[in-house]
């Protein structure tokens, strides 16, 4: 593990010299170390780059770490990670990725994650993305997530990208069976000339399945962001999506939420708001003793949940 | 002492103007500003907190001229201002707002004590976001609590009764009374409410942007029920 990897790990996970329990650490396109636990088994894929993570039903309250670090320019990393979660398991998965460039040549990480949650399993998935380094080369992170949720399975995803990623295209697709629940909280902040696109597609196929999709974004500088979501309510189900964006400077945001219902009992709602920070919010915090800059920082941090 | 010296405020809307107001707010006293709607009461509060800058005239805080200093610097000098209309924040919790107001992390017990004064249980509210998930009355009570959390020397409440239910209002009156006893703060409350006027030490009546009358509670309160400043309310509660 090199120094840059250590730096990235501190940023994207709660790593402090050691991971407790199961983990797989990826650095510059290779798995550099991994560890199984009694209930979580990590197996390297034979046919392509990546791992299978088998989470047994006995895994309750465990955390598995699968961070990926790109520590230099000219790395194009593509990895396939599949999570197989047995019925009854209840785990936290800490993923996340950092890309560091030190020259004019760019680097990219493309993580393709698939989740197969058996009935009555629960997963909390946490993912933080950052770009660092003084190089002018582009830092690109293009994650793809595919999730199948069995009956009554619950997948909660918290994804955060706050700085330094020049370009990202995030794709998330999920298919839910009976009474399954998907909760997504996404926070993205872009600055400079960064671009971020995020696309969600959720199929509510099981009776009483539900999705709650909340995306909060802040676009500063000349950065631009694009949000697309499609929720398909095919049975009696509930779907809620919320896309809120704060614009500053010359930031741009496009929001294209879509709802499709093919059942009269599908209850789908979308909310969206794009605008600058309300002046009265800044004034209120100034009356509490913050400067205008501190007030803006506080408002953005609260908005993004960081 | 907080002193306004011949303060004028001209607004483009020509409404809520202040046409040369001089008054003093003393520490250790509860001063109530009352008067008809549109008379300039909220404008005065905003001038004191720094949200408005006077067109002319001066504002002094303990003999320091604060006319041109910012909202932030006034807050740091001990002026607190409770908005008439609470501000909502998506993602900012009641806890964060209270701790921002206090300028430090706040133990749960302290948060309980402050929120209790406005009729709220801290455990139910401290991790909730200050946004549309709360009712108007809840937001208003939290707004007042953020000001109570500040331990400020000069506290301005702009119509604290608005949007508050009777039960919470009673506890709020008690909170004002206790604030007066516990601290040597200057309390300035803009209100139409008889029960708030009743606990005032001083009453200032603002009408058409000027001080129509001012004096002790005993001097002014009876005049509000008769004569020039008479304001009739069938319920006997709202004075204007």
Q: Give the span between the Cα atoms of B146 and B80, in whole angstroms.
A: 9
Higher pLDDT, A172 or B223: A172
Interacting residues of A274 by C-beta distance below 8 A, sequence separation 6+: A244, A245, A247, A253, A255
Which is more confident, B169 or B218? B218
Question: Looking at beta carbons, which residues of chain A come within 8 Å of B128?
Answer: none
**CB-CB neighbors (< 8 A) of B71 in chain A:** 283, 286-287
pLDDT (0 to 100) of residue B132: 83
Q: Using pLDDT thresholds of 50, 70 and 90, give the confidence band for residue B240.
A: low
Confidence of residue B15 (pLDDT cuts 50, 70, 90): low
**Locate tokens 């003793």: which residue?**
A289
Q: In chain A, what residues touch B80 (CB-CB under 8 Å)?
A: 287
Tokens standing for residue A298: 């506080």
Cα A205 to Cα A52, A151, A179, A242, distances in angstroms: 26, 10, 10, 21
Q: Minimal Cα–Cα distance from A235 to chain B, Å?
A: 28
Alpha-carbon distance B214 to B232, whole Å? 19
Question: How much of chain B exceeds pLDDT 70, in percent?
Answer: 92
Record: contact B91-A284, CB cut-off 8 A: no
> Would you kindly state where each structural domain of chain B is located, as residue ranges?
2-229
Token readout for B61 is 């805080």
ipTM of the modeled complex: 0.92
Distance from CA of B105 to the nearest CA of A (A): 14
Locate the domains of chain A by residue range: 1-165, 181-275, 281-306
Q: pLDDT band for A295, please (50, 70, 90 cuts).
A: very high
Judged by CB atoms closer than 8 Å, whether chains meet at A289 and B75 is answered as yes
Q: Which residues of A touch B76 (CB under 8 A)?
A: 289
CB contact under 8 A, A283 and B51: yes
Q: What is the pLDDT of residue A237?
A: 98
Q: What is the 3-state secondary structure (H, E, C) of chain A?
A: CCHHHHHHHHHHCCCCCCCCCCEEEEECCEEEEEECCCCEEEEECCCCCEEEEEECCCCEEEEEECCEEECCCCCEEEEEEEEEECCCCEEEEECCEEEECCCCCCEEEEEEEEEEECCCCEEEEEEEEEEECCCCCCEEECCEEEEEECCCCEEEEEEEEEECCCEEEEEEEEEECCCCEEEEEEEEEECCCCEEEEEEEEEECCCCEEEEEEEEEEECCCCEEEEEEEEEECCCEEEEEEEEEEECCCCEEEEEEEEEECCCCEEEEEEEEEECCCHHHHHHHHHCCCCHHHHHHHHHHHHHCC
Residue of A87, A84, A149, A140 lying closest to A113 (CA atoms): A84
* pLDDT given at position B234: 43
Please indicate if any CB of chain B lies within 8 Å of the CB of A276: no
Across the A/B interface, how many CB contacts are shorter than 8 Å? 59
Which segments within B123-225 are labelled E, that is strand? 154-158, 186-190, 202-207, 210-216
pTM of the complete model: 0.87
Residue of B nearest to A293 (CA): B72
Q: Among candidates B41, B31, B51, B48, which has minimal Cα distance to B185? A: B31
A10–chain B Cβ distance below 8 A for any pair = no
- Residue B232, pLDDT score: 44
Q: How many CB atoms lie within 10 A of CB A45?
A: 13
Q: Is the pLDDT of residue B235 over 60?
A: no
Per residue in A111-166, pLDDT (tens digit) is 999 999 999 999 999 999 999 998 889 999 999 999 999 999 999 999 999 899 99
pLDDT value at residue B231: 53
Check: CATH 2.160.20.10 for B2-229? no
Query: Which residue in A241, A111, A92 sits closest to A165, CA to CA?
Result: A111
Tell me whether residues B90 and A302 touch, CB distance under 8 A.
Answer: yes
Determine the Cα–Cα distance for residues A212 and A155; give it in Å rounded to an integer. Answer: 11
Burial of A229 (0-12, 13-18, 19+ CB in 10 A): buried
What pLDDT is stored for residue B175 in this prediction?
82
Q: Is the pLDDT of residue B230 over 80?
A: no
pLDDT tens digit sequence for A4-28: 888 888 888 877 777 889 999 999 9
């Amino acid at each position: 593990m090199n120094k840059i990897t250590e730096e990235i790990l501190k940023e994207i996970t709660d790593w402090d010299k050691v991971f407790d329990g199961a983990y797989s650490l990826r650095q510059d396109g290779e798995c550099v170390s991994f560890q199984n636990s009694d209930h979580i088994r990590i197996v390297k894929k034979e046919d392509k780059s990546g791992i299978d993570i088998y989470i047994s039903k006995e895994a309750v309250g465990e955390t598995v770490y699968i961070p990926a670090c790109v520590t230099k320019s000219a790395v194009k990393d593509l990895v396939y990670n599949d999570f197989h979660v047995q019925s009854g398991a209840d785990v936290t998965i800490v993923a996340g990725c950092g890309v560091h460039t030190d020259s004019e040549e760019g680097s990219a990480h493309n993580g393709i994650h698939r989740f197969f949650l058996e009935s009555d399993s629960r997963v909390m998935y946490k993912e933080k993305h950052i770009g660092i380094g003084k190089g002018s080369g582009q830092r690109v992170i293009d994650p793809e997530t595919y999730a199948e949720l069995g009956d009554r399975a619950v997948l909660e995803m918290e994804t955060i990208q706050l700085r330094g990623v020049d370009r990202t295209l995030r794709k998330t697709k999920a298919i839910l069976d009976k009474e399954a629940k998907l909760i997504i909280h996404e926070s993205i902040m872009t600055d400079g000339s960064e671009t971020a696109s995020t696309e969600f597609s959720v199929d509510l196929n099981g009776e009483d399945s539900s999705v709650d999709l909340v995306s909060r974004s802040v676009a500063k500088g000349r950065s631009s962001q694009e949000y697309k979501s499609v929720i398909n309510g095919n049975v009696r189900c509930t779907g809620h999506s919320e896309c809120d964006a704060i614009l500053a400077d010359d930031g741009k945001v496009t929001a294209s939420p879509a709802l499709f219902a093919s059942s009269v009992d599908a209850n789908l709602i979308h909310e969206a708001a794009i605008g600058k920070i309300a002046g009265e919010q800044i004034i209120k915090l100034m009356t509490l003793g913050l400067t205008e800059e501190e007030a803006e920082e506080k408002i953005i941090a609260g908005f993004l949940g960081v | 002492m907080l002193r306004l010296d011949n303060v004028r405020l001209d607004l483009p809307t020509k409404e809520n103007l202040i046409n040369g107001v001089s008054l003093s707010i003393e520490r250790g006293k509860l001063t109530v500003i009352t008067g008809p709607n549109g008379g300039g009461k909220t404008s005065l509060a905003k001038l004191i907190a720094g949200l408005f800058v006077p067109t002319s005239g001066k504002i002094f805080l303990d003999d320091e001229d604060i006319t041109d200093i910012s909202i932030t610097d006034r807050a740091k000098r001990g002026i607190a201002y409770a908005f008439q209309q609470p501000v909502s924040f998506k993602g900012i919790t009641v806890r964060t707002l209270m701790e921002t107001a206090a300028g430090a992390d706040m133990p749960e017990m302290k948060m309980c004590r402050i929120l209790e004064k406005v009729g709220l249980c801290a455990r139910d509210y401290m991790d909730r976001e200050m946004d549309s998930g709360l009712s108007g009355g809840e937001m208003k009570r939290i707004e007042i609590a953020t000001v109570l959390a500040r331990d400020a020397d000069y506290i301005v409440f702009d119509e604290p009764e608005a949007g508050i239910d009777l039960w919470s209002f009673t506890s709020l009156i008690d909170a004002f009374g206790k604030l007066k006893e516990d601290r040597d703060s200057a309390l300035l409350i803009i209100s139409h409410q008889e029960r708030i006027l009743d606990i005032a030490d001083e009453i200032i009546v603002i009408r058409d942007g000027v001080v129509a009358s001012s004096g002790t509670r005993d001097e002014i309160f009876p005049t509000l029920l008769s004569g020039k400043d008479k304001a009739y309310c069938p319920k006997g509660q709202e004075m204007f």
